Structure formats: C-alpha cells, structure tokens
Chain A
Amino acid sequence: MTFGDGSQQGLGRPSDLRLVEGLLAGDSRSVEEVRRWVRGSASGYRRFLANELDDLEQEILLSLMTSLSEGGFRHECSLKTFVRRMVHNSCIDLMRAAGRRQWINVDDLDLAGDETRVIEALSLEQESVLALRIAASLSKACRDLWRMIHQGLSYEEMAARTGASRGALRVRVLRCRRKAVEERDRLLEEKIKKRSNAPASPSTGSEMEP
C-alpha cells in the first residue's frame, strides 16, 4: 500500500518512533497528542454520534494501543494517518450500525437448503463489489424504488409516494428484481469465462494442462 505522505516505508519517522515509544510507555503527553488527533478526526461525526463519541474515543485509543503493541503499525504511513484512518473506520462502522434497521431475520423463514445464505453471500466484503456492480447496472428509477424498500416503506406507502397503483408498483419492483438477477448471472458467467480464458500461471500451468 502506498500512502504518499513522505514516510519511509518500514523505517518510520523519528517523531513517530518516539511517539509510539511514549504511548506504549504510558507517557501522558504522547497520549494527549494522539487523543487530539482522534478528537479532531472524530469531530465530524459529532452530529451523528453525539452520545457515543466519548466512549468511541476511548475504544479507539485502546485499539490503537493494542495494535501498536502487537506491531500492527508497520510505518507504511505516518502515525497520524494511521490514527485518522482508524478513527474514520470506527466512526463509519458505528454510524452504519446506528442507522441500520432491524430487518426480518431470513433464518426465521425456515427455508431448506442454501437459499437463506444468498443475502449473507452478497453481503460478504469480497462480494460487495459484485453487489455494487449489480446495483449500478439497474436504472436509477429501480435503485430509487429499492432504496425506499430498504428504508422500510410498505408497498402502500411507496405507491402513495410515487403516485403509482399498488399493483403497478409491485410489478415495477419485480421487473427491477429480475434485471438484478440477470445481471448477477451475467457477471458470474463473465467471471467464469475470464477464469477459464486466463493464461495459467507458471506455478500451476503444468497442472492445468490436460
């Protein structure tokens, strides 16, 4: 990973080395300096996470200490960038968790086989690119309709908002759903084709050949 902030990868800036040493030794001035960084970067989330921000600040500092003591900071960037990144990741995580609705538990549907795992599969981090590509292939109207569903609106509410009849609205959503499935199939097929057309790597080439 390249950070481009002037740090020498693997060596570490002298000021960062001193700061890390101070933090691990419990030096109050070092802790205060890093706390200022944390507060600065986290301040943008105050209006979304007002009540949780103080606790989060402590949690971030604790995680940072753990990470530093376990060698998680490898001087690939400056310590300040490392801390800022940690703050933003934690705050976005918390903001998303706070805004998350309690959806129906798909496991409660008592379905057999692997059908219930579809959502989990597409929600996995490595599959989120595929999921986003599918979403991007839909028209904006489709994405807007599904966004309303994710906002928890009933079909009656959606019909009222869009001015469509309930039946027409449900059919429109169904069409969007079909497009999403078609795109998923197309992307997966493309992926398989690419894999089968890709030249074999030197290490596995002999194994791949018939």
Chain B
Amino acid sequence: MECERVTTVLPWLFNGSLEAEERSQVESHLASCPACRKELRDTAVAWAATGAHPPPEVISDYGLGLEITGFPRDVLEAHLADCPSCEREAAIVLADGDEETLQGVPPEVPSSPSLSPSPSPSPSPGTSWRGWPALALAASLTAIALGGTLLWQAVKPEVPHANLAIIELFPLNAQTRGPDSEVLKLSREGPAAIVLMPGEHSVGERYRVTLRTSEGREVWFLDDIELSEVGDVALLLPTDALPEGVLGLELQVHFEGGWKNVAEYAVVVGQ
C-alpha cells in the first residue's frame, strides 16, 4: 500500500470502520513507515480535537447559572452552539427537572451535517437556545398524512417512518432530519414532503427551496415561502417526476434584496 493511500484512510482507522483487509494493510504499512506514523500522530490531533467536549462539571455549572472556573466561557459557548449533544446536556441541566422546560430539550437525534453549509443570514452567536421551540415541535411530530391533512401527536420524540424530511430553521444554521437517518432519503413511491419548521429567527422571512441534479440542473423549486409563527410549512414534492439518485437541495432566504444560501443538503431519491 502506498503512503498517499494510507494517509488518506487514517481517520477511518481510528473509528474502526476500515474493512479487515484494508486495516491490516494499513497497520503493516505503518509498522515500517516512519513518515506515515507521523501522519497517524497528526490524525490523532484532529481526532482528539474534533471529539473533545467540555467536562460535565463545566456544563453543569453553566446550566445551573453558576460561575465557571478554569474554563473559558467563550470556548464553552462556541462549543455549545456547534455540538448538539452538549447543547442537549446543558438544556437538561437548565431545565433541572422542570417538565415544561424539558419539553423543549432537543431529542437524541444527531444533527445532519450539510453538504456545504453557509452561515445563516444574520447569525446571533450564543443564542442557539432560541431554536428549541422548533425542536419541541419536531419532537412531537409523529406522523404526516399527505393530501392536505397534517396529523400531530405529542408522544415519543422520534422521527416518523414517513416519506418525509424536516428542515428546522435555527437562528444559527438549518438542521435536517430524514425518516431514518441524517441524510434526506425520499422514496419515489407515493408523495413526499419536506417540512420547514421555523425557529423564532426565521418567522417572517421568505425562503426558496430548489432541487438540483449533481450537474446543477434545476429539477424543482418553490419560491417565496413565507414562514409564520402559527405553523410549519409542508412542501409536497412530485417525487415520481424527480430523477433517481442524489439531488442537491438548496435552501435560500431573501435577504437584502437577493436570495442568499442558508444551507445545502443531499436528498437521495430512491425506489
């Protein structure tokens, strides 16, 4: 195995997802190649940095409104704005057993990393809590009946097995959920919907959703979607008319006289 190949697969050596044969080739190469061992050490830096979280005491003190000692507050708040699991921990501490506040705590669904995210039009750092009302709604969404009727039930905080994708419009960035994974997977069999769930920040804004093929060809779009605070917007997609495969979904907001990108997602249209 060549050094170049070894270097590029090292992150997956750490997460244990390499196939047995590939892993064995990488390991035997590492044993005899000092340069690649240096690469391994560098990979360890990125692995440790991107997997780090503030200690539980820091999260507890922050959530309880106590003074945080020995840990920079800016580092903590930047992390909370970016890490759904730590944000959830801090939210639970903040609720401190209060049932009503706990309703707004994000459920245990990992956020979906987008394809090439761009910042929301006017991000307000440190205010990610504002998105929780939308999360509470998402948690209570269990089914959607297409054809004009939305059915809501406040039960388990799980995303339903429906031909449905949800985009939550947060103050800082848009997040997505698919029926059974983080990527938006939609079947061509039967109608499908994308639900836009506004956060406080996105109410009153005008949005545009565009679906494009990997070559950039526009296959579907909907303009001037105005979000109000009284409900969410379900966009019915003509899935039977969409090409199969991976499409790019662009979410844009009308801002300062033009359409600005909020986020992009991969939408897999399959059978």
Contact = CB atoms under 8 A, between A and B. Distances in A.
Interface string B162-203: 000000000001000000001100000000000000000000
Contacts of B55: 125, 128
B15 A103 contact: yes
A22 interface: no
Interface stretch (A27-35, A56-64, A171-179, A195-203): A171-179
B120 to A, nearest CB: 11
B64 A85 contact: yes
A102 interface: yes
A129 B76 CA distance: 9
Majority secondary structure, A binding face? helix
Contact of A104 (B15, B45, B49, B72): B15
B15 A109 contact: no
A191 interface: no
A118 to B, nearest CB: 4
How many A residues touch the partner, as a band? 35 or more
Contacts of B15: 101, 103-104, 149-150, 152-153
Nearest to B16: A104
Contacts of A4: 66-67
B interface residue count range (under 10 / 10 to 19 / 20 to 34 / 35 or more): 35 or more
A104 B56 contact: no
Nearest to B119: A140
Contacts of A129: 71-72, 75
A180 B97 contact: no
B71 A111 contact: no
Interface in A79-117: 81, 84-85, 88-89, 91-93, 95-96, 99, 101-104, 106, 109-111, 115
Contacts, number: 214
B161 interface: no
B48 A109 contact: no
B258 interface: no
A163 B50 contact: no
B49 A180 contact: yes
Interface of A: 1-4, 39-45, 47-48, 77, 81, 84-85, 88-89, 91-93, 95-96, 99, 101-104, 106, 109-111, 115, 118-119, 121-123, 125, 128-129, 131-136, 138, 140-141, 143-155, 157, 160-163, 167, 170-171, 173-174, 176-178, 180-181, 184
Closest 6 CB pairs of A and B: A144-B113, A122-B48, A131-B52, A146-B50, A170-B8, A92-B56
